[in-house]
């Protein structure tokens, strides 16, 4: 699997307290059904099941592998905490707001959305602000604090992957002369 999936999954685990707290019983049941496994309480979900569920139900279903790393991480973490498609809608709305996208805000990660995200990878900051505003109007104060912490953690993680990595130092490819 891609390095960005692994990084995004690690951030998701961090904001969820080391477990997938955002997985509802019905989602777990659906995943287990797709694996030809009997249902069982979500509290018994293993780490391997959680990773596979996130990979299949969010990363693959949202088409996140085709996005720039910052957008992929934003959409995975928010997508696991919002109704299906709403993280993509936040991305589309942010890209629309910033003039990079002219399509519908429909939650479908199609070619126009992918092209706009590639054109404007830094617009995730606008989407993060939109998410904060959404949570502020939809949640009580106690829940808002947890959501704000998640968004701050997500922002820090994305900013770290956006920082260019310095080239390796030392003599490379040099011949004795």
Residue 171: how many CA atoms within 13 Å on its side-chain side? 3
- Cα separation of 96 and 171, whole Å? 46
- Structural domain total, the chain: 1
Q: What's residue 172's pLDDT?
A: 53
Q: Is residue 173 part of a domain?
A: no
> What is residue 17's predicted lDDT score, i.e. its pLDDT?
77
pLDDT score at 134: 67
The H or E element spanning position 95 is helix 86-97
Say what the pLDDT of residue 177 is. Answer: 45
Q: Does 58 fall in a domain?
A: yes
> Is 7 inside a domain boundary?
yes
Predicted local distance difference test score (pLDDT) of residue 158: 84
Q: Is 151 a member of any domain?
A: yes
All residue ranges of the chain with pLDDT < 70 are 1, 19-22, 134-145, 163-177
Q: Which domain holds residue 23?
A: 3-162
Q: Which residues contact 129 (CB under 8 A, 6 or more apart)?
A: none
Give the pLDDT score at 20: 67
Of 91, 74, 88, the residue nearest 158 (C-alpha): 74
In a domain, 170, yes or no: no
Q: What's this model's pTM, rounded to 2 decimal places? A: 0.80
DSSP 3-state of 109 = coil
Contact 50, 9 (CB under 8 A): no
């Amino acid at each position: 699997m891609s390095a960005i999936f692994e990084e995004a999954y690690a951030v998701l685990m961090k904001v969820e307290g080391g477990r997938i707290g955002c997985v509802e019983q019905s989602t777990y049941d659906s995943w287990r059904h797709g694996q030809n496994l009997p249902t069982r309480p979500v509290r018994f979900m293993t780490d391997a099941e959680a990773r596979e569920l996130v990979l299949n139900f969010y990363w693959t279903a949202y088409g996140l592998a085709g996005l720039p790393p910052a957008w992929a991480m934003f959409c995975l973490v928010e997508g696991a905490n919002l109704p299906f498609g709403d993280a993509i809608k936040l991305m589309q709305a942010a890209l629309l707001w910033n003039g990079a996208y002219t399509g519908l805000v429909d939650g479908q990660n199609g070619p126009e959305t992918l092209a706009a995200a590639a054109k404007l990878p830094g617009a995730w900051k606008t989407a993060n602000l939109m998410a904060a505003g959404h949570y502020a109007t939809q949640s009580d104060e106690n829940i808002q604090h947890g959501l704000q912490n998640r968004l701050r953690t997500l922002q820090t993680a994305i900013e770290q992957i956006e920082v260019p990595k310095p080239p390796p130092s030392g003599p490379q490819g040099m011949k004795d002369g």
